[in-house]
Chains A and B, each alone.
Chain A
Amino acid sequence: MSVLAIVIFLVALAALALDWAHRTKIALGGAAAMVVLGVLDQEQAIDAIDWPTLGLLAGMMVIVALTEPTGIFTYVALKATQISRGNPVALVILLSLMTGVLSAFLDNLTAILLVVPITLLIADVLRIPPIPLVLVQVLASNIGGTATLIGDPPNILIGSHRPELSFMDFIVNLAPVAVFTLVVTSALLAFVYRSRLRPAPERARQIESLDPARDLREAKKVKRTLAVLVGTIVAFFLHSALHVEPSVVALVGATVMLFVAADDVEDALGRVEWSTLLFFMGLFVMVGGLVEQGVVTDVAEWLTELTGDSSVAKGMVILWGSAAGSAMVDNIPFTTAMLPVVDSIQGDEFDDGLWWALALGACFGGNATIIAAAANVAATGILERTGNRVSFLQFLVVGLPITILSLLIASAYLLLFQL
């Protein structure tokens, strides 16, 4: 039966990596196969679903969906562009930092869906190629999202799986290395792209003449909506002291947002990406099958044999292994599968360093290939729809060196401060 569990899981991973069908169909198909073929029974399947992860994701989806119509994100992106005054290095760094910060506090996929269309508009007005700018933002979203519990799906999975790790723990242990990596990689990419992204002076003046405040309609509603968004983020910082889980913070924030900003509740709830939530459910059930059949314990034992008792070796294997796995199959299913593995590796003694290694590996690894993170797929999808196709190789040439550089920084950080 364990062989069957492994086969179902590997076929699903291959299908996801090769984009054979919509990812939700694949995950649900794999989950259905696990249950129907008896790898795990229906009670075990339901128990395997991590409901806090789903609550956190659904809550943030509602909050962001109701904040977006205010025009505030467009305003911020245009202001950042205007501040750069036509200087390509400043433009890349500002857009990159803005994307990184938005990713940290909204989640990276949402940030990318918000900023990439505006970046296309900015590139059009400046008459500069949009692809380098968008690639810089994708890389920044995966690095910036690493900074918080809610910034990147791997972190949401880890935070929901290990309640010992609070929102502040993520900030304290991951934000410094994420910010440092973001600044280094942004500066590097700004230097590389500086000549390609230099606009003609009259184009820079054109964008400076635009008034982004013209789209901030209904000032009172904007203020109310932003107050709920900021209040939710503050509550994330305080959730440990308040003794509430991050998922509760997100769901309460979403409920308040429905009262404050949703004229039509059906419409607001319709913006929840149900297919994404079902994708996660399918993954949880598939990994539940691997756990029930002892596959996860076997992998963990093999890794423990490989690394011995050295926490440094364990941390490095988790960091680089997670990055490689994420690059090949998408960091969400990979992290879902790694959660019980890291549980087993650390044994009875909780070791937060190993969880930071997993977070850094999976999040930074998300930059390596076009399929490694949901944000990459979303961004390149928008680019393609607007006539700017990015090939697998084109992404790899930029993404892989940035990933290796990020992992080197992460390795140094873990060795110096965590392991």
Chain B
Amino acid sequence: MPLRDVALTDASVLQTVPLAEAVAELFEARVPAIAVLDDVGRVLGILSEREVLRAVFPGYLAEIRHSAFLTDDASALDELAARARDRPVRDFMRTSEVLELSDSQIHAAERLMHSGDDALPVVDGDRFVGMLSVAGLCHARLDRPTG
């Protein structure tokens, strides 16, 4: 049962696309991460919801454990968003594991468990095919008629 039997999500952007555009794609595709591609369609990395969260909110939040006393400072948050909005998505992406279309589903499940990512890019040779999400993989398993 290779990954070609699972519904993948075609969610990717070019590395030069502004962050705001990439986040719109992430939101509309309904997957936890999208692939970031170079000019010829090879996978350079992924942009996950975690990277976006860090880009749009202050960096120190990742370092502190307590924040219930903080109140929203609209102007500071707007300023931060304005600084991030038009920067290319390559500034925020990170490298991730890449799955092959011929990989087994059980191997993909093990990689999803241990990579810490909720979605990984799937390639066929050099060509990006789609994003495999935990929900997509598990849905494919649960939706199969048994018996």
Contact = CB atoms under 8 A, between A and B. Distances in A.
Interface of A: 68-69, 71, 74, 78, 116-118, 120-121, 124-125, 127, 206, 209-215, 382, 385-387
Contacts of B59: 120, 385-387
Given A74-B66, A210-B69, A387-B59, 4 more contacts: A74-B64, A116-B63, A382-B63, A385-B59
A385 B66 contact: no
Contacts of A124: 58, 60, 76
18 contacts: A69-B65, A71-B65, A71-B66, A117-B63, A120-B58, A121-B58, A121-B67, A121-B70, A125-B73, A206-B73, A210-B69, A211-B69, A212-B69, A213-B69, A214-B68, A215-B66, A215-B67, A385-B59
Nearest to A118: B64
A385 B58 CA distance: 11
B62 interface: yes
Contact of A120 (B60, B66, B69): B60
B71 interface: yes
Interface in B60-95: 60, 62-71, 73, 76
Contacts, number: 54
Interface majority SS on A: helix, strand, loop or mixed?
A: helix
The 3 A-B residue pairs with the shortest CB-CB distance, nearest first, are: A117-B63, A120-B60, A386-B59
A403 B129 CA distance: 59
Interface in B19-66: 58-60, 62-66
A117 B69 contact: no
B65 to A, nearest CB: 7
Nearest to B63: A117
A213 B68 CA distance: 9
Contacts of A127: 76
B44 to A, nearest CB: 22
Nearest to B76: A124
Contact of B69 (A214, A382, A385): A214
Contacts of A212: 69
Specify which of A74, A210, A212 lies most central, judged by the most chain B CB atoms within 10 Å of its CB: A74
A138 to B, nearest CB: 15
B71 A385 contact: no
A89 to B, nearest CB: 24
Contacts of B63: 116-117, 120, 382, 385-386
A117 B73 contact: no
A74 B60 CA distance: 13
Nearest to A117: B63
A129 to B, nearest CB: 13
Contacts of B60: 117, 120-121, 124, 386
B107 to A, nearest CB: 28
A14 to B, nearest CB: 31
A210 B68 CA distance: 10
A209 B59 CA distance: 22
Contacts of A117: 60, 63-64
Nearest to A116: B63
